[in-house]
Amino acid sequence: MSATTSDKTLQQAKRNQAFENKPATANGQCPLKAGEIAIHPVRYAIDESPARGSAQGPNPLPNGWSAGHLPKLKTRSYTLRQLRDGWLYVWDETDRTLHEYQVEGHQFTRHKWGSAQLGEDERNNPGDSKPYLLYPKRSRLLIAYSPVQWTWRLCEKMRSNPQEQKRWMRALNLPQYCTQMQAAHAAPIREIGSAVADILAGGEAPTFKSCLVAANKDDSSRPCKQPIDQALILGSVPDQDSALFVALDDPMAIVDDLAMNLQGRWLELAAADKQHANKINSATLIQGICGVKLDPFIPKSVLANPSRKQAFIKDAHNLLDSEAQLLNHSGSDATLTLKSLQVQRAQQQFRTNWGNPPSGPKWRALVEEWQQKKTWREDVRFDEAWSYLQERSDETERLNAHIQRSESDLLAWLKSLSPKAEEVFYDPCHPQQSTDLLDTMANLYEQLGASDTGKQWLCEQYGEPTTLAGLALFNFSAELSALIDKISANFTTYGAIDNQGRQADGSGQAHGGLSDTTSEVSRANEVKSVLDLPSVQASNLYKNLSEPGKRAFETLRNVVGQKAKDSWNLMAFVLLPALSTKFAPKVRIFAFSVTQVLVSTEISTQTRLILDSEFAKKNRQWQIQVAQLEKNIKGLQRTLALPGKGPDKRSARIQLLELEQKRGTLNLQRPNEVIGSVVTETRITKVQTRQVNVWLATLGQSELLDQLQLKAKSATGYAARSRQWINQELGGSLPVLVAGLNVWNFINSLDKARNDGIFSADELRTVGANAAYTANALMALWTVPAWNKWASLKAVVNEKTVQLAQVGVKAWGINTQYRSLARSLALRTAGMAAFGAIAAGVEAWQVSKDIDKATSAGETYALRTKQITLGLMSVVAGVQLVGSALGFWFGFAWVMSNPATIIIALLGVIYLIASMVANQYKREGLRLWLYRSSWGKSPTWTHSDEHHKEELRTLKEICLRPSLAARASTLPYYGRGPRIYTGFWLQLLLPSELAGASVKLQPAMVDSGWFSDSLMQGMADKFYDQFLEGHWAPIEQFGQPPAQRPNGPLPGDTLYPDGTQHRLWQTWIAYQRPPVLELEVRYPEQVLESTNGQGYMFRVDIGTSSSEADLKSDAFSKEPNSDMVLSSQSTRWLSLQVPHTSK
């Protein structure tokens, strides 16, 4: 029951319901005997949200009732509810009278019309309030509910138009009801408690929380209609036997509820996205990197269903696992048989679910790729990520499906609304009613504009309006829409508003329109055609507009300048995609801009469009300039594609870059046939009128050109200018007008062009360890054979026969020959032991450094074992060294004895195993990112927004990493004296994502000293220019630069076809010293944002064989690299333009 109804009132109403005020003999009185019939109107409404898996709400329509006249719904159902607070109108066809009632709660208040009310849009003359209407049984009625009070114009329209009365109002024939006791959309009033959801005959009251008009006041932001007890109605009507209730239509209430329903679905999806978006993105990346691309093997019907797609991928992964194990089998026959059975089981499972399993060369290649990525998958929680994606996919699919169904329900209702606002009882000539309807439509545009289906429907409606939503931009007036279309057609065809070729005031002679080819001399003498509000209002087209059409236009200008500004601008922004010939004819596209000029006063009190009479001449000159520029660009491209000298190629490349920049500038100087301007001062705050006029005259091209030119000169200045522009409050109409005019002028210029036909790890430690191991190997090479040969020699010493190494060197005394052999053998053994001790010690030191960089506990354990083994090997070698040194005085046969050899061999085996395990766990680059990712085995990042952003940036830096290879060229070398260097070849491999971008290079030749490196001094500009005097080479040549300096012209640039993943820059640098190069490669900020102010840092000691440079920068560190010369010194920045793919 209503909270506003007191207990006493309700108790009295229930007594009145039980004991009617009529004679006892009148029970069950026939309606025929009743003189007047009481009527209680209710409405068809949207029921509360149904249970999951059902479309039927908890309050269905009563048996025998049908909502067949209403659009069918997929997500909700219809019910009966009380009328919303508003207005009720009854036309009595019998007495030819129109009655007006105000609806408040369950009461109806008649407003009688006296002389003071006649002709007024707002009438207030209330009488008594009753919970029913009372009409003679002879009356034939037409009843309608309206959320707003009808304007007097609408009242007169309804009184004088029988066709619209019957189309917009509910018919109730009381004589027929009295005889048949039934009527469409009506029932005896005694059934009202069981039929209407919020009129109760007992039981729990509904809440309608999922509807805009709720049943309680929990949410003060929403209107409320509280449930009532049926006794409040039944206990008030004069005669319950003859009284009835009738259900009316309230289309805007249903549209509001369906819009709220759709909004709820979008909020569910947004909440799920906010909670899971980062996690889903990371999991998708993990699946893409560590998995394989299965799309070519997935049936199309499965691809379209996310949940079935994930199920297919799961079975495909099982099949790939089993086949990869079989393909890489290296065990016994028993395990081979077991793996074969596993493959058969996986294939059978796949066949049961999806049909024949995939096969063929492409599938075998996929199996091999799957096996190659096995190590990567072991670094991440791959199965967990996949399961998570499957779970989220199911949820997203469910939410999207719900959105689609909810959207289809809303669209079904919007399609059923005719273009006339009067049919939903709103008068577009009334400011407040126009504002309310525009606000409602703006909310609908916002909901529908969030999906492709809804946006497409709105765009189609703009192009050819057939519904109320399609005419929202024109104040729901088909006449006004047609007027603006006609004005647009005349202005773009004749240069005038009226099609006689002359403005209404006699100025602005017609000049043949957009396709005019009259002489340029006569056109130069013509006055520019202007389209603005005064000229439109003075035109014959406007004068011929009906009075309601003119009032609708003025009302639209009034409300768009005040309360409805934001709503109207929002709809205009949503409709920007409609400015395409796909959705609208060319004249309708131009009409979009005309509407902005005529309706909105946000830019200025008077904004106008100007048609340039000299456009044809300017456009032809511009086209000729573009055509000549394109020829020059193609000529330079041909030059670069042919063999030539390095300096010439560099010069051509510089010229080409200048021409491409000029092309961008020229494209922003394209003449426009129609531009805008403001006559009076602008209303946009903090922007001068002159600046607004510049923007309108160039349609925003001037601002973009200034920003691009500033970007080329100063990144800091460009960033500041961009921020200033973005934060500038330009309102809604100016951007929309500029966008609309640009679209139209662009389409117009294309048409012109078609018609004119003018265009047709630490280096020192590594080197030390490698050198020591090499020397150790060499010493072993000539020590072991000598030991085997001489250590077994025997002779007599102190009356005992001993082997050569069993006594010291001095023990041989005067036996010169044996003494010399023993001495030589001791020295060789000492040398071998010394180098072995050095090598093991240095590598143990290196391993200690690697331990600090270990990425996992497994790698740390392996490196610790390797370090301990190397330490023991160094100790053994040290003991051998001491024993060999003491060989001059004591026997040293034990140095190479079997125990010593066995110990060294065992330590070697342990060393090798530890090395293999350490290499297995060693991670760097992409593999390290996978291990540390939010889905990795040792995550560094979480799924927070900040961590997710850094995670993706690090991945991007790794994936866009360039590669650098080099090879020195020398004069012919015959093995004597030092090499004479002539220079070196440099190869820089760049990812294709940089196509069209300019990459910055900072090369530095390094002078390697004993204690530190320094920058090579005295390098001339010509030396640096050589880095840009190369050519773009075939990708397959990377790592294989030429051995000799270039002889003759350099090859032409390689043309890279679509799909090429890299670009290879190759150049030769003249340099007469052993080259040590450092190179910093820096990408544009829009491609990759640096976190430490440095780019990719490379260093390479260039030898006569090809070598790839070491990457010294660390994508996982925000600290700048400090181990290079370029870390503290700088040379010269060079700009390298990366080519696009060839066409």
Average confidence (pLDDT) over 302-310: 81
Is the pLDDT at 879 greater than 80? The verdict is no
Q: Is residue 881 situated within a structural domain?
A: yes
Please name the residues in contact with 536: beta carbons below 8 A apart, sequence gap of 6 or more.
487, 497, 542, 598
Say what the pTM is.
0.77
Range from 560-574, 732-746, 1027-1041 carrying the lowest mean pLDDT: 732-746
End-of-domain residue from the set 862, 891, 922: 922
Mean pLDDT of the chain: 79
For residue 738, name the pLDDT band (cuts at 50, 70, 90). Answer: low
**119-143 burial: b if 16+ Cβ within 10 Å, else e:** eebebeeeeeebbbbebebebbbbb
- DSSP single-letter state for residue 111: E
Burial class from Cβ neighbours inside 10 Å (0-12, 13-18, 19+) for residue 437 reads: buried
At 990, phi and psi to the nearest 5?
A: -115, 150
Q: Is residue 266 situated within a structural domain?
A: no
Average confidence (pLDDT) over 390-419: 91
Handedness of CA 579, 580, 584, 585 (dihedral sign): positive
Q: What does each C-alpha distance from 481 to 210, 466, 959 come to in angstroms?
A: 36, 12, 53
What is the tally of structural domains in the chain?
6
End-of-domain residue from the set 545, 574, 606: 606
Please name the residues in contact with 413: beta carbons below 8 A apart, sequence gap of 6 or more.
71, 251, 254, 255, 258
Tokens at 112, concatenated: 């009688």
For residue 910, name the pLDDT band (cuts at 50, 70, 90). Answer: low
End-of-domain residue from the set 739, 756, 773: 756
Range from 190-199, 463-472, 976-985 carrying the lowest mean pLDDT: 976-985
Average confidence (pLDDT) over 838-848: 54
pLDDT for the residue numbered 878: 54
893 and 979 together in one domain: no
62 and 207 together in one domain: yes
449 and 562 together in one domain: yes
Q: Is residue 939 situated within a structural domain?
A: no
The DSSP line for 130-164 is: ESSEEEETT-EEEEEEESSPPPHHHHHHHHH-HHH
Is the pLDDT at 125 greater than 80? The verdict is yes
Is the pLDDT at 833 greater than 80? The verdict is no
**CA distance linking residue 655 with residue 373, whole number of Å:** 46
| Chain centroid offset of residue 617 CA | 42
pLDDT 10s digits, 983-1009: 999 999 999 999 988 999 999 988 765
664 and 545 together in one domain: no
What single-letter amino acid sits at 141? L
- Longest Cα–Cα distance of the chain, Å, equals 160
Beta bridge partners of 984: 968, 1069
Tokens at 272, concatenated: 């799920």
1013 and 918 together in one domain: no
pLDDT for the residue numbered 815: 44
216 and 235 together in one domain: yes
667 and 550 together in one domain: no
Q: Is residue 327 situated within a structural domain?
A: yes
990 and 896 together in one domain: no
Nearest to 480 by CA among 500, 492, 465, 501: 465
pLDDT 10s digits, 232-252: 999 899 988 889 999 999 999
pLDDT for the residue numbered 908: 54
Is the pLDDT at 648 greater than 70? The verdict is yes
For residues 871 and 844, the answer to whether their CB atoms sit within 8 Å is: yes
**CA distance linking residue 721 with residue 591, whole number of Å:** 33
Q: Is residue 272 situated within a structural domain?
A: no
Please name the residues in contact with 38: beta carbons below 8 A apart, sequence gap of 6 or more.
132, 133, 134, 189, 237, 238, 239, 242, 243, 244
Q: Is residue 172 situated within a structural domain?
A: yes
pLDDT 10s digits, 862-871: 656 656 666 6
905 and 1018 together in one domain: no
What single-letter amino acid sits at 965? A
SS (HEC) of 184-211: CCEEEHHHHHHHCCCEECCCCCCCCCCC
pLDDT for the residue numbered 925: 80
pLDDT 10s digits, 472-500: 999 999 999 999 999 999 998 888 888 75
pLDDT 10s digits, 590-602: 898 899 889 888 7
Average confidence (pLDDT) over 182-207: 90
Domain interval for residue 142: 7-249
3-state helix, strand, coil in the chain (%, to 5): 50, 15, 35
Please name the residues in contact with 964: beta carbons below 8 A apart, sequence gap of 6 or more.
986, 987, 988, 989, 1079, 1081, 1098, 1100, 1108, 1109
Cα radius of gyration rounded to whole Å, the chain: 44
317 and 350 together in one domain: yes
Q: Is residue 978 situated within a structural domain?
A: yes
For residues 993 and 958, the answer to whether their CB atoms sit within 8 Å is: no
Beta bridge partners of 27: none
For residue 767, name the pLDDT band (cuts at 50, 70, 90). Answer: very low
For residues 437 and 563, the answer to whether their CB atoms sit within 8 Å is: no
Tokens at 343, concatenated: 């493959």
Nearest to 82 by CA among 244, 250, 311: 250
For residues 347 and 316, the answer to whether their CB atoms sit within 8 Å is: no
Percent of the chain with pLDDT over 70: 72
The DSSP line for 675-722 is: EEEESS-B-STTS-HHHHHHHHHHTTHHHHHHHHHHHHH-HHHHHHHH
For residues 959 and 926, the answer to whether their CB atoms sit within 8 Å is: yes
233 and 317 together in one domain: no
Q: Is 122 left (phi over 0), alpha (psi -120 to 50) or beta?
A: beta
**CA distance linking residue 295 with residue 364, whole number of Å:** 15
For residue 717, name the pLDDT band (cuts at 50, 70, 90). Answer: low
Handedness of CA 21, 23, 27, 31 (dihedral sign): negative
**CA distance linking residue 378 with residue 375, whole number of Å:** 5
Is the pLDDT at 784 greater than 50? The verdict is no
474 and 338 together in one domain: no
Average confidence (pLDDT) over 753-782: 46
pLDDT for the residue numbered 464: 93
**CA distance linking residue 455 with residue 468, whole number of Å:** 16
The DSSP line for 306-360 is: HHHHHHHHHHHHHHHHHHHHHHT--S-HHHHHHHHHHHHHHHHHHHHHHSSPP-S
Tokens at 595, concatenated: 């509407």
pLDDT for the residue numbered 644: 86
Range from 35-39, 288-292, 698-702, 1000-1004 carrying the lowest mean pLDDT: 698-702
**CA distance linking residue 568 with residue 596, whole number of Å:** 10
Is the pLDDT at 1136 greater than 80? The verdict is yes
Is the pLDDT at 157 greater than 70? The verdict is yes
Tokens at 564, concatenated: 């409805």
Q: What does each C-alpha distance from 547 to 159, 420, 436, 552, 595 come to in angstroms?
A: 19, 16, 22, 9, 19
**CA distance linking residue 711 with residue 997, whole number of Å:** 13
Q: Is residue 385 situated within a structural domain?
A: no
